Amino acid sequence: MHEVAVLAYHGVLPFDLATPCEVFDRVTVPGIPKPYAVRVCGAARTVRAGLFDLRVPYGLADAARAQTVVLPGIADPAMPIPSEVVSAVRDATRRDVAPGSPPSAPAPSCWPPRACSTACAPRCTERLKKNHHLAGG
């Protein structure tokens, strides 16, 4: 089973968080009962997401062990990404995470942080590099 971590942090856009959860959870593959294990992971157990709060069942250590890490968009693009989230992405990057790849696909090498975003991959990539000095892949 391919493990997918969707990161939740203060300011996350609920739609951007929910979309990859639904997409990966509903994948059907003949002969594989559940090809993806989807986990919502956060630095805090309760995350502010606009008009409501979200309860996050998994911590960032779970994200660091996932094969695919999804970094959803946030309401304020100028808001810095929490250092704990950046560390989790770095840990996953060191393991050669495959962004959005199906279980049988090879890990792509063209995405510098090797984390995918449902809404703003180029902006998130640049923000991660700029704010937290991530090295390009």
Q: Using one digit for the tens of pLDDT, what is the confidence trace for 6-44?
A: 999 999 999 999 999 999 999 999 999 889 999 999 989
pLDDT of residue 94: 77
Angstrom CA distances, 106 to 33, 35, 82, 98, 99, stand at 21, 16, 29, 7, 10
Given this model, what pLDDT does residue 89 score? 86
pLDDT digits (tens, 9 = 90+) for 78-118: 999 889 898 888 888 776 545 544 444 333 222 233 344 43
Instruction: Write the CB contacts of 121 (distance below 8 Å, at least 6 apart in sequence).
Output: 111
Going along the chain from its start, the domains and CATH numbers come out as 2-132 (3.40.50.880)
- Stronger pLDDT, 73 or 106, i.e. the higher one: 73
User: Which strands form 2-8's sheet, in the order they lie side by side?
Assistant: 58-59, 36-42, 2-8, 68-70
* Average of per-residue pLDDT across 119-128: 44
pTM of the full structure: 0.69
